[in-house]
Structure 1
């Protein structure tokens, strides 16, 4: 039996659930152990039956937000001080030794990229393709500039070129990682892209999403991985699904904002639909939403197929893949480059309608929701994507690759 150590960022819902799915898919001969610094979703880990090691130092809310923006390519400043990186690497090396871990699986816990290498343990990274080095290097337009005019295309190519250099070539990784890498006798991480490149980079994508891209030897496609929460659907969902009005699912993950939640809920409140919205974690006690918007805690969204007519999503890969797998057409807003990429690929496939988040309070958003609910072409594309997803199991593929490394 071999121990496999999972190191997700525990305040990132999609990342935590992705790790849980991989741990479940491992052969029972192996022993998954989780560790983390912030503990927002630790109950999901424990409910899945896996041991969890709570570690320090942890971040406050402002540091979390800054780290998330850095990971998503929205900022180049980070909360990674030399002291914090040094302490976390020391903690992780100790956990690896004490558990006898023979493999480490990470999400965007950046210190794992130092600690695993310092301990000589292979590092596995199930990751969306967007904002990986090959995606940034080979994408001519990242769509930082909207529009189809010649001027917009030229401006976007220029912005993409600048971003590509900053992300893949500029020595802009936090100095702390260079310092601590040197202290632990591992290769220095100098660029933003190198901070998120493991020994085995396992792309959680469908095959068509990688069309036209050449993958380096350390990248491999595994397929979609998304949450399967062990919880029943609350009765309100089936009650709303039986009502004459269409039912819309509002899912904004863990990287949206209270302001966006309120705007989206109020926009949906103007439509002749019912809405089920697992957004309680964003709201304050005195927030008032339209009467047709029903707020819940986290839902097992993989069970919503056939119950909801459409979804409104922030564009995170977990929520997008859940909609794809259940055949639910969706409106995707894309709050940062990775999410925009996820939404755009589905819009190109036909099962989604893309709307910039700044337009959520406009008629364009309401029109997009109507299209997702009633446009035959969108609904047909969603059904076709669901059929394609039926044979995909990225968690199992990832588990087999990890086990191959343990052999």
Structure 2
């Protein structure tokens, strides 16, 4: 026992985002499970406050509270997200950077592991002694790949283009020079760049989110099939999907079982917009499932506290007997399996869970990564993506009807399901991380 090398790992995820924290816990558990005999791991999660802290602790990991102290209901509220700026003001961006740097200086980890968290990617390099970093990503956040082969369709925020046919949009995207694409506000994150000026930065100039997220190793938690055409650098590894599988003691709420009763021959819809959704988009989905043809379907609708109070969601639904709305945690893998169609915002965990249960998807994207997740599924004929500015009840109903009518959607999602089942994202993530630690850190 005395000869074991203790490895201190700090996870810095956006802990108030359900998808981010779920992936972080799965990776941390994989690292622990596949730990070599001559090592021992000491894993700590940073938190500025989150409703998911209990989830981290119940999985056997420590929490380190860092400043600033935030409510932790959802990252949009915590970060005061405005438009394409993840962090809504410069002062808050500075406080988050300082809090993270102080935490790293105090904990002195051997390695920092972070998801889509630009603050962590910067702060680890600004600690008293720069700390090696491993980044986990739903898609390859590598500048050249992202801008040339990954973003095939026009971003939803360029509204006029969303009305053009798909092939037109793809052709236009190919013609836009990389330098212009890099100026997309979502890639620049001006508030973080402005806040960085108050700190001592000795690294290469930071111009975009790609520079902020830079890591010594980046693992991509996605299907190999979706990343075939990408020429990735050696320190990028596609390791396979990573999502929370249902635990053996998971129990489905009786109200859900009643709504999705197998004797009920109605079309069954599971609406899960995740904690990064917005109220107005949830309300359009509720209207689609409670008005007109929607009344003929049965639906289970998640109304996360981060999106809106459940009372408002229930008011939007009126007295519709065909839907059940909840803000409680549900075992998504099991509930997905009972549905005919999943209505989603395109978060990676939600998309992969739908694939795992063989359930076609109707979705919209809140940001480019979610658009890419959905487009990967659409290109395989297993779902329909509606541009965000056209996300309304009639279009949602039409998409659901098309999926029900055309059996190829179900066949195609089952093909993706087989691919997903043949890959072990958790094990591959852990082995890639251990390989880096053993061969590069020592």
TM-score, length basis structure 1:
0.87
What is aligned with 2:53? 42
2:43 to 32, 36, 48: 32
* Shift, 1:131, TM fit: 5.0
Q: 1:137 aligns with which of 133, 137, 147?
A: 147
Structure 1 runs not aligned, ≥5 long: none
- Which residue among 13, 17, 38 is the counterpart of 2:18? 13
**Structure 2: how far apart are the matches of 1:235 and 1:137?**
46
Residues 1:313 and 2:344 are matched in the alignment: yes
Q: What CA distance in whole angstroms lies between the structure 2 residues aligned with 1:150 and 1:315?
A: 21
Residue 324 of structure 2: aligned partner = 294
How far residue 304 of structure 1 moved from its aligned partner, in angstroms, is: 2.9
Asked if the contact 1:8–1:35 (Cα under 8 Å) also holds between the matched residues in 2, the reply is yes
CA positional deviation for 1:237: 2.4
C-alpha change, 1:51 and 1:83, in structure 2 (3 Å) is same
Q: What residue in structure 2 maps to residue 206 of structure 1?
A: 223
Aligned equivalent of 1:87: 98
Could you list the runs of 5+ residues in structure 2 that have no partner in the other structure? 1-5, 34-39, 156-160
Q: Are 1:371 and 1:378, in contact at CA under 8 Å, matched by a contact in 2?
A: no
Asked if structure 2 preserves the Cα contact closer than 8 Å seen for 1:114 and 1:181, the reply is: no
CA displacement at 1:228 relative to structure 2:
3.4
Name the stretch that deviates more: 113-122 or 150-159. 150-159
CA distance in 2, matches of 1:112, 1:232: 35
CA spacing shift, 1:150–1:314, aligned 2, 3 Å: closer
What corresponds to 1:277 in structure 2? 301
User: Structure 1 stretch 203-212 or stretch 342-351: which is displaced more?
Assistant: 203-212
Query: Residues 259-274 of structure 1: matches in 2 within 5 Å?
Result: 259-270=280-291, 271=294, 272-274=296-298
The separation in 2 between residues aligned to 1:22 and 1:188, in whole angstroms, is 30
CA RMSD of aligned residues (A): 3.0
Matched residue SS, 1:189 = coil
Query: CA offset at residue 383 of structure 1?
Result: 1.0
1:267–1:51: structure 2 CA closer, same or farther, 3 Å change rule? Answer: same
3-state SS, counterpart of residue 367 of structure 1: helix
Alignment partner of 1:225 is 2:242:
yes
Distance 1:314 1:169 in 2: 20
Alignment partners' CA distance in 2, 1:67 and 1:244: 44
Contact 1:279 1:298 in 2 (8 A): no
Shift of 1:22: 0.6
Could you say which residue in structure 1 is the equivalent of 2:386? 355
Per-residue deviation, 1:186: 4.5
Equivalence for 1:54: 65
Distance 1:178 1:108, change over 3 A: farther
**Structure 2 residue matching 1:276: 3-state secondary structure:** strand
Question: Does the C-alpha gap of structure 1 residues 24 and 369 become closer, same or farther in structure 2, counting only changes over 3 Å?
Answer: same
CA distance in structure 2 between the aligned counterparts of 1:251 and 1:323, rounded to whole angstroms: 10
| Deviation of the 1:279 alpha carbon | 1.4
> What is the alpha-carbon distance in structure 2 between the residues aligned to residue 306 and residue 169 of structure 1?
36
Q: In 2 relative to 1, CA 322–212 (structure 1 residues): closer, same or farther, beyond 3 Å?
A: same
Equivalent residue number for residue 248 of structure 1 = 269
CA distance in 2, matches of 1:392, 1:90: 36
Do the aligned partners of residues 69 and 150 (structure 1) sit closer, same or farther apart at CA in structure 2, a change above 3 Å counting? same
Give the SS at the match of 1:264: helix
The residue number in structure 1 matching 2:120 is 112
Match of 1:175 in 2: 194
Q: Is the 8 A contact 1:128 1:317 kept in 2?
A: yes
Per-residue CA deviations over 1:149-194 (Å, capped at 9, x if unaligned) read 8875665456674652326997966133354242xx5444233320
Residue 51 of structure 2 aligns to a residue whose secondary structure is: coil
Please say which of residues 367-376 and 262-271 is displaced more in the overlay.
367-376
SS class of match (2:144): helix
Look up the SS of the partner of 1:202 in the other structure. strand
The superposition leaves residues 84-115 of structure 1 with CA deviations (integer Å, 9 ceiling, x where unpaired) of 15522432223432xxx322111133232233
Q: Describe the superposition over 1:255-291 as per-residue Cα deviations: whole angstroms up to 9, x where unpaired.
A: 1111111110111113211111221423333441133
How far off its partner does 1:388 sit? 0.8
- 124-133 or 373-382, which deviates more: 124-133
What's the CA shift string for 1:228-264, capped at 9, x where partnerless? 3654221222222222222211010111111111110
Q: CA, structure 1 residues 153+378, in 2 after alignment: closer, same or farther (shift >3 Å)?
A: closer
Give yes or no for contact 1:132–1:196 (8 Å, CA) kept in 2: no
Q: Is the contact made by 1:181 and 1:187 (CA closer than 8 Å) also made in structure 2?
A: no
